[in-house]
Amino acid sequence: MDAISVSSVSKSFGTIQAVKELSFSVPSGEIFGLVGPDGSGKTTTMRMLTGIMLSDSGTIRVLGKEIGLHSKSAKDEIGYMSQRFGLYPDLTVMENLRFFADLYGVSRKERESSSERLLEFSRLSLFKHRPAGKLSGGMKQKLGLMCALIHTPKVLFLDEPTFGVDPVSRYDFWLILYQLLKEHVTIFVSTAYLDEAERCGRVGFMHKGSLLRADSPENLKAGLTEKILELELKENRRAAAVLQNEFGSRSVSVYGGRIHIAVKDYEKTSETALNLLKAQNIKVDAVRQVPPSLEDVFVATLLSARN
């Protein structure tokens, strides 16, 4: 059974069409990741899926219930964590959990048992009497997630939940999501991090309100026709400018101390690239062919959509 079903959904704000004829489905028990640049329509899509915002056209069903017609009954089984989740900084961790339990109509008996379970689950038990405003960024995100889970939803919507959070806290956050999968919770998450998208069962690429592709990370990477030439070097910005002038900006991407070039002919391109950089006295520490990352596929997909 599909936990989420979206058919021909569109949404406009005046003359701006934020979402265009969006159609996809998410089976129960899957993590589905939505990736796209700012302004691509991710947050608008999330708000329509949760019933916060109504679509102009099309149909959205969550757990078989049509959002818009049966939003109230569907919302009882939905957990939602927005980009800026509204924790109350003067309330303690436990008080925040109790407050959201009251909002969701969770009984006192269920509230206490759920709170203790979630605190242990998130490793926040030692901090349950600390004001939320004095938690670290990662702990605040964990608490936000626990508040979204206090009524035991079957479907969880997360809008860029780890944006601006340190790598260790991001890792811990995803461990919690994997534990939720074992409890048969369906998770729909938007993210700005491609390494996080790699952890999803399926990934959808959004651009200018349209869903360009949706498949497993493995299938998306296998479908890339170009080979990836990777150069490891220190003067990456200057080197990128030289290579982009030769191969075009659309083929060259910078990832920290590495440069990726999407190529058809690996041997010929690598020889040309090394000669160009040598002529500019730019030292290359290593050159190799590497499997494409999801980021390589994402960049290639966006470039193709812009043509």
pLDDT truncated to tens, each residue of the chain (307 aa)?
A: 899 999 999 999 999 999 999 999 999 999 999 999 888 999 999 999 999 999 999 999 999 999 876 566 677 899 999 877 678 999 999 999 999 999 888 988 888 888 988 999 899 999 999 999 999 988 999 999 999 999 999 999 999 998 888 888 888 899 999 999 999 999 999 998 888 999 999 999 999 999 999 999 999 999 888 899 999 999 989 999 999 999 887 789 888 889 999 888 889 999 999 999 999 999 999 999 999 999 889 888 887 776 6
Domains, the chain, ordered by start? 2-220 (3.40.50.300), 225-291 (3.30.70.270)
Rg (CA), the chain: 22
What is the edge-to-edge ordering of all strands in the sheet holding 31-35? 78-81, 155-159, 186-191, 31-35, 202-207, 210-215
pTM attached to this predicted model: 0.88
CA-nearest of 18, 98, 96, 100 to 56 is 18
Tokens of 155: 């479907």
